[in-house]
Amino acid sequence: MATTIDLEGAVRTFLRQTESHLAAYLEGCVHCGLCADSCHFHVASGDPRHTPAYKLFPIAKAYRHRKFPLGLLGLARPVGEADLREWEELLFDTCTMCGRCTMACPMGIDIASIVAGARQAWVAAGLGPSDLMGSADNSRDHGSPLGVSPEKLRDRVAWIADEHEVNIPIDLPRADVLLTLSSVETMKYPDSVASMAKLLNHAGVQWTLSSKGYEATNFGYLAGKADIARTMVERIVAAAEAIGAKTVVIPECGHAYGVLRWSAANLLGRELPFEVLHITEFLAQLKRSGRLRLTPIDERLTYHDPCQISRRGGAAGDARELLDGFARDFREMTPTGNENWCCGGGGGVQAIGRAAPLRYKVFKLKMDQVEQVGAKTMVSACSNCRLTMDESKAHWKWDGRIASLVELVAEHLVEEPKAGA
């Protein structure tokens, strides 16, 4: 039996969203369809329902019915339960909030931000993919979407430090830099955690992890649960303030960077008292100041831009600065940088089990791009992209390798001889 939904709660949430700039976006769409071929889901599936503008239909309908002059004259139809049920898949499974469609839109409509706001209406209705909702709830209740509690974090970090013979400071009372982690790395790619520690130690950075604010991912934001989004941000901010951190470093995670760098101050209603840098930005700074020296790598490499770091984050140049002079046979894919194709798993889509077949189709775009440049290894700086692409790669039995940029850099560090040695 279908669950009862809170339709009025959803409509109220839609309308609250349209009190902001989103109303201008909804009014601005001229239905030209130019966004269609910019969306990887539409290109990969050929399904016209995957056209970006079409995904906005319920919020536009609610807006027209309650606010638009036609609605006030009784000439527009209300959004109904069937709309919410039908569009759930379009709003959650087929939008990674990658922002590529905005670059194609002649009106500059930021569909990703409308989708992020609209997801809150599904939550208000009591709808939304259960696995994504569960990831958000786990973050609030246990500390991370994968259930990495503070106790588990301390155990896991001790294990990684032991296994990789690297010092990983945790809960130091004062530090210049608070390093945060993605639970995808903590649980699935521990080498990435060890690599960050190795690099920060090598450069003499005064840093620590904190068991009070460690989880960089923000599934509250992705799921449309604004209260959880705020809670996750508050934990990091409180931890950073407690140790007097000047910089909070976000690990290889795209949306974690986007939320803390660009949305956190709005979520909290105050400025952040520290700088937020993605690990690639931080490492590029170290390289510029001569604190990272690397042995070159001759293998042909290409780079996958995580959408939230490059297109939406403005930090496409830092990864390339790290690779410059180090990756001697580096080749750019087409398109690349701010126009890259998404991995297919951002915006929480990675956590939605039923979306896997569509993610696999999207990955074929990336496989073709990598094969065109003749590389066997594609480097990235987002563990969520990496996980999405590793799963898709296994599905297609593709023989390419998806590597972490941080791990690659750590593996090629020139160890300075100890003084007096």
- Residues at the site binding ligand SF4, with contacts judged by CB under 6 A: 29-35, 38-39, 41, 52-53, 55, 95-101, 104-105, 107, 109, 111-112
Give me the least distance between CB of 343 and ligand SF4, in Å please.
11
Closer CB to ligand SF4, 90 or 228, in the complex: 90
Closer CB to ligand SF4, 207 or 360, in the complex: 360
Closer CB to ligand SF4, 40 or 156, in the complex: 40
Q: Say which residue the tokens 């046979």 belong to.
A: 329
Closer CB to ligand SF4, 27 or 321, in the complex: 27
Give me the least distance between CB of 49 and ligand SF4, in Å please.
11
Closer CB to ligand SF4, 28 or 374, in the complex: 28
Give me the least distance between CB of 91 and ligand SF4, in Å please.
9
Query: 316-320: long-range contacts at Cβ-Cβ below 8 A with a sequence spacing of 24 or more?
Result: 317/284, 318/278, 318/280, 318/281, 318/283, 318/284, 319/280, 319/284, 319/379, 319/381, 319/405
Give me the least distance between CB of 72 and ligand SF4, in Å please.
23
Closer CB to ligand SF4, 97 or 203, in the complex: 97
Give me the least distance between CB of 43 and ligand SF4, in Å please.
9
332, 84 in Cβ contact below 8 A?
Answer: no
Give me the least distance between CB of 404 and ligand SF4, in Å please.
24
Closer CB to ligand SF4, 41 or 122, in the complex: 41
Closer CB to ligand SF4, 112 or 184, in the complex: 112
Give me the least distance between CB of 50 and ligand SF4, in Å please.
7
Give me the least distance between CB of 360 and ligand SF4, in Å please.
16
Give me the least distance between CB of 64 and ligand SF4, in Å please.
15
Closer CB to ligand SF4, 57 or 398, in the complex: 57
Closer CB to ligand SF4, 169 or 337, in the complex: 337
Give me the least distance between CB of 344 and ligand SF4, in Å please.
9
Cα separations (Å) of 418 from 111, 202, 206, 383, 421? 53, 12, 19, 33, 5
